[in-house]
Amino acid sequence: MRLFAVVREPIDPRALELAVRTDACGGVVTFLGVVRERADDGRSVTGLSYEAHEEMAVAEFAAIAGEVEARHAEVRLGILHRIGELRVGEIAVAVCAAAPHRADAFEACRYAIDQLKSRAPIWKKEQYTDGTGEWVENECRSI
């Protein structure tokens, strides 16, 4: 399985963990971003529509992993992001970091999801129960 990918099918976090970890890793931290039922302003959400510049997004995932490895050579990272129409409760993104010890795994996982949200060319539109929808922007770092 690819460690950095944009996918259309449901994400299997356990499969990602198995692909990322090696026997040198004593700590595995997985972050899952899941579609929730309410927008930040309280409106009811039926689902999210995601789209991506897939090649650039995968390249960005690999670049983020390179930055992590530059700081912690023993950390391994996997990042999967789903696109298409997702319903409440479905996994949109999985970031898995594995390391010999937990501190590096937690730090790498947090770094990777924060960087993904600010840099990866991926977009989401919230779909509301009244039939309308709006594009939602993350806090963005310019690159």
Partner 1 sequence: MTVRVRAFARMRELLGDGEFDLIVPDGATLVDCWEALRARNRKIDALASATRIARNGRVAALLSERVDDGDEIALLPPVGGG
Residues of the shown chain interacting with partner 1 in the complex, contacts defined by CB under 8 A: 33, 50-53, 55-57, 59, 81, 92-93, 113, 116-125, 135-138, 140, 142-143
Cα distance between residue 12 and residue 94, in whole Å: 9
25 vs 120, which CB is nearer to partner 1? 120
Q: What is the dihedral of CA 60, 78, 7, 32, to 10 degrees?
A: -110
Both structure tokens of 49: 């529509």
Q: Whole-number minimum distance, CB 1 to partner 1, in Å?
A: 20
Cβ-based burial of 35 (10 A; exposed 0-12, middle 13-18, buried ≥19): buried
CB of 129 to partner 1, least distance (A): 20
Q: Which is nearer to partner 1, 22 or 118 (CB)?
A: 118
Nearer to partner 1, 45 or 74 (CB): 45
Question: Whose Cβ is closer to partner 1: residue 25's or residue 116's?
Answer: 116
Tokens 């690159």 found at: 143
